[in-house]
Amino acid sequence: MEQIRKRQLNKKATKQRILKRFQSRSAATYFVISLAILLVTMILSVSYGAAQINWTVIRESLMHFDVQNTQHLILYDLRFPRVLAAALIGAFLAISGVIMQGLTRNPLASPSIMGVSSGAGFMMALALAFFPHTSQFGLILWAFTGAGIGASMVFSVGLFSKRGLTPVKLALAGAAVSALLQSASTMLAMYFNVTRDISFWYAGNIAGIPASSVRLALIIAVIGFVSAGLLSRSLTLMSLGDEVAKGLGQRTGLVRVCGILIVLLLTGTAVSISGTIGFIGLIIPHITKKMIGMDYRWLIPFSAVIGAWLLVTADIAARMVNPPYETPVGALTALIGVPFFLFLARREGGGLI
Amino acid sequence: MKHLWTTSVMLSASFMLAACGNSQVEAPEEETTEIPEEAAEGPKTLIDGLGNEVEIPSNPEKVLGSYLEDYLVSLDVTPVAQWSVSDGESIQDYLQEDLSGVPLIPHDLPYESVLEYEPDLMIIRDAVEQDMYEQYAQIAPTYVLKSSPTEWRETLTEVGEVLGMEGKAESVLETYDAKAQEKAEELSAVADSESAAAVWMVNNSLFVVHPERSSGAVMYGDLGLEIPEVVSNLSSDADWAAISLEELAQMDVDHLFFVNSDGPEAELFEDRLWQNIPAVQQDQVYQYGPETSWLYYGPIASEQVLDNVVDSITK
Amino acid sequence: MIFKNIHYLILALIFIIILMGILSLATGHLAISPSELVETALGEGSRRNELLLFEFRLPRLFIAILAGAALGVAGTLLQGITQNELADPGILGINAGAGLSVVLYLTYVSNRETTSPLGQMMTLPFAAFLGGLLAACCIYIVAWKNGVTPIRLILVGIGVNAGFGAVLTLFQLRMNQSAFNQVTVWLSGSIWNAHWSAVISLLPWVFILIPLSLYKSRTLNLLQLGDEMATGLGINTERERIKLVAIAVALTGASVSVAGGISFLGLGAPHIARKLVGNKHQRLVPTAACIGALILLISDMIARNLFAPSELPVGLIVAFLGAPYFIYLLITTEA
């Protein structure tokens, strides 16, 4: 009895020590600074557009909102939802990437590479072909299911192969699953003549997102962020490897299931609102880990903020590249993401096979 | 979730016109009884838009002019097949009074579909189709139009020339111009120097008509309505240029013609920004469905737009 | 290895290709009866059937066969060079590079008024070749770190593929509506210009490069032994590898210029061939060519008939069939 208690106490102490070692003193500073930068960028994004709206108007609209004032309405109904959507989706994808890389300890794990995004896109194509009047919430459910299908297809490749899901296999399986699901979606789209609706998901776009979608995304954000936060300690321990985590009393299976559910929820929502925007989930975790270390209690919120900032910035760029047309923001994130992916491939390709 | 990025819709602007509902076409009465009496004597040779010498048969009976049906019908020629998208999901509803019973051909004109109808003369225009010119030319003499797709008068004259119906084409133009002048006078009596714009909504995206094209040419050119500043500032080469709700909300326009492909329950109408638009508040928004001729080119399309505009404003 | 005698196998494959070819000629939106088919083949058919067979369906059939064979051999070469059974010109990004180059060439360089249609068709494969070469160089340079490991090559290829794809999207946005439409369909793999001139433009590439690949079989076999062994046996490995990559890229470029970006064919054909005849490239190259031709021919038949008279891009069919096979390979191959 005594011995068992002692061992448990001992285990607890070790856990504390490990968690403490991961803690980075500068994490809080980084987080606050990045949050400030995000806010400034969001304000920039809000003031950029066809109608000239300056800071005074923005402040005024926040203090005394006037339903008759077109500028106020533009802010409330168009620009605030858009910038919020960009920030939320960026955060969703970044958190998904962090969790996926933490759970799989695979540097290439991310929503677009793991087939999650293309799965969600496929199910939405299916939904639009057969149930064209699906509500926004319904679409999120479809996308959620699809995200699950895509991810499980890629994971089962790892499950069935002898040496598990190595980074290379993951990337290859992801590419194959995406190709399969995309060809299926395109065939569906062509047959049911919904090409116009579907082509958009493959480029990703956050223009004209209705305020109702953003409200839904906000609710999901609360659920996702809170549960990711609750999971963060376990994730830190998981990042040491299954054996160690088990030894420290983690129920690794449960953590894994919860983590995957969060990923599916966040990615599915992001895809159903904005289409497939690639590479954010891949890049962000690598950058944030370098900056503040492996403590997931800070890593998750910090990644969310940086992800949000990246997509808000990309969205501003997408509007400035070729006005008055909007460039699909997915093409822009790919332009930033590809060199990064190549860098990782160059670094990892030799070792982690 | 039906937003889409600009270009994919610009493409839809010319290719896919979601259509539903029945056509309400005013038949062009003055023209229905005439029979093409001036059909050419023998085969003639014309140089087409690609520089090919095309031997036009005398009295072609099976003419195929996909997306040129408006011109053919105005010349009293019934084409052997008519333009459609996705197995007839979209057709040119406003012409169906004259085209009922005419079989459909996919808009991209697959060789085998063209061969199926064994036309004696084909008139085509699109860049996509030009690549296939040599194949079509083996099925039937194929004439590629020289005139710009945005100039319906020139197109009508050219189609008339190809079919040996120059006189008929001219009389259609004269009839149209006379009617346009009459309608313009009728309009200026009630709405002198008032502005108007035509906005098309499809899949929750908004487009505004180019001031010199399609229904824009009728509203501004033929009927003399004023062009709002937002419309003349749009630097787009598309027939229908994408316009954001933000820009629409700031458009200062007296009359708004609203071509609605999304149905009466579209989210837009609930929007506070929409309800804040001056034309909406003054109840000067006139809704038309995709079965009307607002999105098309040609003498019949233009004539129907003339009637629509004047009826709506003078009502 | 199932077949010892390759000659019989090749003859059998050619026989199947001819059979499927006849079937392909007989199917389509417009019906044509077997007796009409024979009559037309003997030169006694109606004008309509003659057009249908000789002008529309036959060139298309030839393009499918030639492009399929080219991709099959290109895949074989790439897998031999990278010593990786998962290499494929589509997955590696060579298709995307060639595609980007063709699109740019058609948009900015080629001019209909100065170039005849045949001239344009003949120059297209060169444009595609240059683009593919650019992609291959990108992959090689990025993947180079004290030599090139096969795995790194593939990973980098996936990245390069995504990069060229994004650049293409940006260019596409500047096109007009119909060009945009055309490019989208073509990029997903489509025999879009089934002309005799397209067949002619493919012929020299296929009939020079496939025998050349066959001629290089010994080198390919030696490369399988590893660089040290190959060098010991008197092969300049780097130079040979570059030559072989150039051949593979040229074959890919030629097929991309007429049939668009078809992925997974260059992957599957060599695999099936390897199952049938084993690892010797003397046997592998001709078998993979026949298998590639057969797969593309059948896929094109499906693409033409599934939603007739509308056509599906044939690349979608190949991807739909090929991706599961790729996944199966991923599961079964070691590393």
Predicted confidence (pLDDT) per residue in A292-343, tens digit = 888 888 999 999 999 999 999 999 998 888 776 777 788 888 888 888 888 8
User: What is d(CA B114, CA B15) in angstroms, rounded to the nearest whole number?
Assistant: 18
CA atoms within 13 A on the CB side of A32: 4
> Encoding tokens for residue A130?
């057969």
CA distances in angstroms from B55 to B43, B131, B136, B141, B169, listed in the order given: 7, 20, 14, 6, 21
CB burial of A1-32 (b: ≥16 within 10 Å; e: otherwise) equals eeeeeeeeeeeeeebeeebeebebeebeebbe
The pLDDT of residue B35 is: 44
For residues A341-346, give the mean pLDDT: 83
| Residue of C142, C149, C155 for testing the chain A interface, max A β-carbons within 10 Å | C155
Residue A206's pLDDT is what? 64
pLDDT (tens digit per residue) in B182-204: 999 998 888 888 899 999 988 77
Q: Are the C-beta atoms of residues C61 and C25 closer than 8 Å to each other?
A: yes
Spell out which residues of chain A touch residue B10, defining contact as CB-CB under 8 Å: none
Mind telling me how many Å the CA of A11 is from chain B's nearest CA? Answer: 50
Between vectors from CA C176 to CA C175 and to CA C181, what angle results, nearest 5°? 90
Q: Which of A122, A182, A167, A180 shows the shortest CA–CA distance to A147? A: A122
Q: B89 in contact with A at a CB cutoff of 8 Å?
A: yes
Residue C165: list chain A partners with CB under 8 A.
334
B interface with C, Cβ–Cβ < 8 A, is 6-8, 10-11, 13-15, 50, 86-87, 106, 108, 110-113, 115-116, 118, 126-128, 130-132, 134-135, 138-139, 237-238
Distance from CA of A346 to the nearest CA of C (A): 6
Give A196 to chain C, closest Cα distance, Å. Answer: 11
Q: C178–B111: do the CB atoms touch at under 8 Å?
A: no
78-137 in A: which are within 8 Å (CB) of C?
A: none
Looking at residue B60, its pLDDT comes to: 87
**Cβ-Cβ contacts under 8 Å, B119 against chain C:** none
* Closest CA of chain B from C333, distance in Å: 41
Interchain contact, A331 vs C169, CB within 8 Å: yes
| CA distances, A59 to each of A64, A78, B180, C154 (Å) | 9, 16, 51, 52
**Is A183–C319 a contact, with Cβ atoms under 8 angstroms apart?**
yes
Predicted local confidence at residue C302, as pLDDT: 92
Residue-level length of chain C: 335
A212-243: string of b/e by CB count within 10 Å (b at 16+)?
A: ebbebbeebbeebbebbeebbbbbbbbbbeee
Q: Which residues of C touch B52 (CB under 8 A)?
A: none
What per-residue confidence (pLDDT) applies to A311? 94
Q: How many CB pairs under 8 A join A and B?
A: 85
Chain A residues touching residue B244 (CB < 8 angstroms)? 49-50, 78, 207-208, 324
Over residues B212-241, the pLDDT tens digits come to 888 999 999 999 899 998 888 776 677 888
Angle, alpha carbons B247-B250-B254 (nearest 5°): 115
The set of chains that have 3 or more CB pairs under 8 A with C is A, B
Name chain A contacts of B205, Cβ cutoff 8 Å: 208
Contacts of B104 (CB under 8 A, 6+ apart): B81, B82, B83, B84, B87, B88, B91
ipTM score = 0.80
pLDDT tens digits along A71-112: 888 888 888 999 999 999 999 999 999 998 888 878 888 887
Per the DSSP assignment, residues forming a β-bridge with B200 are B207, B259
Q: What percent of chain A has pLDDT over 70?
A: 86
Closest CA to B92 of B301, B302, B315, B306: B301
- Residues 237-276 on B with a CB inside 8 Å of A are 242, 244-247, 249-250, 267, 271-273, 276
Least Cα separation, residue C190 to chain B (angstroms): 14
Peptide bond into B103 cis (omega under 30): no
Query: Rounded to whole angstroms, how far apart are CA atoms C159 and C182?
Result: 25
Which chain C residue has its CA at the smallest distance from B85's CA? C310
- State residue B22's pLDDT score: 34
| pLDDT reported for residue A89 | 94
Kindly report the nearest CA distance between residue C317 and chain B, in angstroms: 19
Shortest distance between the Cα of A196 and any Cα of chain B, in A, equals 6
Size of interface B-C (CB pairs under 8 A): 71
B13 → chain C, closest CA residue: C177
Q: Is the model more confident about A58 or about A36? A: A36
**Nearest beta carbon to residue B118 from set C29, C48, C176:** C48
Quote the mean pLDDT of chain A: 82
pLDDT band at A195 (very low <50, low <70, confident <90, very high): low
pLDDT, residue C234, reads 82
Specify the pLDDT at position B18: 32
Task: Name the helix (H) or strand (E) containing B258.
Answer: strand B255-260
A140 in contact with B, Cβ within 8 Å: no
**What pTM, to 2 d.p., does this model score?**
0.83
**According to the model, what pLDDT value does residue B16 have?**
34
Among candidates A50, A139, A199 on the partner chain, residue whose Cβ is nearest the Cβ of B4? A199
Find out whether C235 and C223 touch, Cβ atoms under 8 Å: yes
CA distance C179 to chain A (A): 15
User: Could C56 and B111 be called an inter-chain contact, meaning their C-beta atoms sit closer than 8 Å?
Assistant: yes
Q: Which residue, among B2, B3, B12, B202, would best test binding to A if mutated, counting the most A CBs under 10 Å from its CB?
A: B3
Q: From the list A166, A180, A186, which residue is nearest C323 (CB)?
A: A180
Question: Tokens 């493959």 appear where?
Answer: A202
Is C307 in Cβ contact with A191 (below 8 Å)? yes
Residue A24: is its pLDDT beyond 70?
no
Chain B interface mutation, best of A133, A188, A192, A200, highest count of B Cβ atoms under 10 Å = A200
* A226 part of contact set with chain C, CB < 8 Å: no
**H helical segments located in A161-295:** 167-192, 195-203, 211-238, 242-247, 252-274, 280-292
* Coarse DSSP helix, strand, coil percentages of chain C, rounded to the nearest 5 percent: 75, 0, 25
What pLDDT is attached to residue A352?
A: 43
Question: Which is nearest to C120 in space by CA: C199, C208, C198, C182?
Answer: C198
Residue A83, chain B, CB below 8 Å: the answer is: no
Residue B132 or A254, more confident: A254
Q: Best residue in B66, B90, B109, B111 to probe C by mutation, most C CBs within 10 Å?
A: B111
Kindly report, residue by residue over A199-220, the tens digit of the pLDDT: 544 555 666 677 788 888 999 9
> Which pLDDT tens digits describe chain B residue by residue (315 residues)?
233 333 333 333 333 333 333 333 333 443 333 444 444 456 788 888 878 888 898 888 899 998 899 999 999 999 999 998 777 777 899 999 899 889 999 887 888 889 999 999 999 886 554 567 888 888 999 998 988 888 999 999 999 999 999 999 999 999 999 999 999 999 888 888 889 999 998 877 788 999 888 899 999 999 989 999 888 877 667 788 878 888 888 888 999 999 998 888 777 888 888 888 888 888 899 999 888 999 999 999 999 999 999 999 887
The low-confidence residues of chain C, meaning pLDDT below 50, are: 335
Taking the Cβ of residue A203 and every Cβ of chain C, the question of whether any pair is shorter than 8 Å is answered with: yes
